[in-house]
Amino acid sequence: ACGVGHGDVFRPVLTATALAVCLITVLVVVISPWASREEQRIRYVATNRPLLSLVNPGRFTEVAVNDAVVYAQSVDPDTSQLNGVFAYNQEKDGFSVETAEQASYRQAEDLDGDFIVFVNGERVTKTDTGQMMQITVFEKHGVLVPREIEATASLRHDGKTMAQLRESSDLKDRAEWHWRIAFPITAVLLALFAVPLSRTGPRQGRYGRVALAVLVYLPYSNLLVVGRKWISKGIAPEWLGLWWAHALMLIVVLYLIVRMNGPLLTQWKSLGSSSA
């Protein structure tokens, strides 16, 4: 009625969709894996920091593992040696309290923990079953404090590049590959899906197509999530990927576009029959 054809509607939509697809592709393929790798690197570095390097002079430092607490009056900036040390460590059958003039750090790689060496101090231990405390005076004593998180150098699948995912034989990596390429494809399909939904009749309400949009989008998004799980668990063949879910959505989009162009097709048929 206003002289605006379907092509006039599709052109700006496809232009905006192309820009959105480029942005989504960069985010999913480049930025998101990079952010995941950086997160894992930071966690790895923080996990492998010496425990004593986290201690601030004059403050109690709590460690989540074994509910350990460390306190030092001062810290030597050159050697990271603690002076005037107090340490509490929750053990399997009780607890122990260490007080010493000095303490230094030794990393025990084979034991997966931080080995703290106390010099010139006392050790008080108490078991859960015992009523008496044991006090030991020592010149040098070591305590193993496990690390809070087990450090690992292996890269998670969400931090791998597209090439690494493609070459991997791990089903979780393959599922991640299909999941990433699903984002730009989904953006294109949803953009095309929005065009026929925007067309309403004179007597139809403004929000009459919202329910249809929700009824189509929710199953589509759920199918993508389910398909990803099926690939990672080996239920669905990897070569099938998530293409079947995209194909179902494409069928819905094409059906709506054909219905939108129905009056135009009828006019073409009538013109053809009249000319004949």
pLDDT computed for residue 200 by the predictor = 65
pLDDT at 268: 43
What percent of the chain clears pLDDT 90, i.e. is strictly above it?
34
Please name the residue that has the structure tokens 């997966």: 112
Give the tens place of pLDDT for each residue, 197-208. 877 666 666 666
In the predicted model, is pLDDT for residue 185 greater than 90? yes
Q: What is residue 198's DSSP assignment?
A: T
Q: Which two tokens stand for residue 184?
A: 């730009």
- Pairwise CA distance, residues 208 & 204, whole Å: 6
Q: How far is the C-alpha of 147 from the C-alpha of 109, rounded, in Å?
A: 11
Separation CA 227–CA 44 (nearest Å): 32
pLDDT at 242 over 90: yes
pLDDT range class, residue 7, cuts 50, 70, 90:
low
Q: Cα–Cα distance between 171 and 183 in angstroms, integer? A: 19
More confident position, 158 or 4? 158
The average pLDDT across 39-68 equals 73
Whether residue 142 is predicted with pLDDT greater than 90 in this model: the reply is: no
Alpha-carbon distance of 38 to 34, in angstroms, equals 6
Is the pTM value of this prediction over 0.75? no
The Cα 64–Cα 34 span in angstroms is 29
Residues sharing a CB contact under 8 Å with residue 108, sequence separation 6 or more, in sequence order:
114, 115, 144
User: What are the CA-CA distances from residue 253 to residues 94, 116, 121, 197, 211 (Å)?
Assistant: 66, 65, 77, 10, 16
pLDDT tier for residue 267 given thresholds of 50, 70 and 90: very low
Ranges of each domain in the chain: 6-39+155-264, 58-146
Average confidence (pLDDT) over 62-71: 74
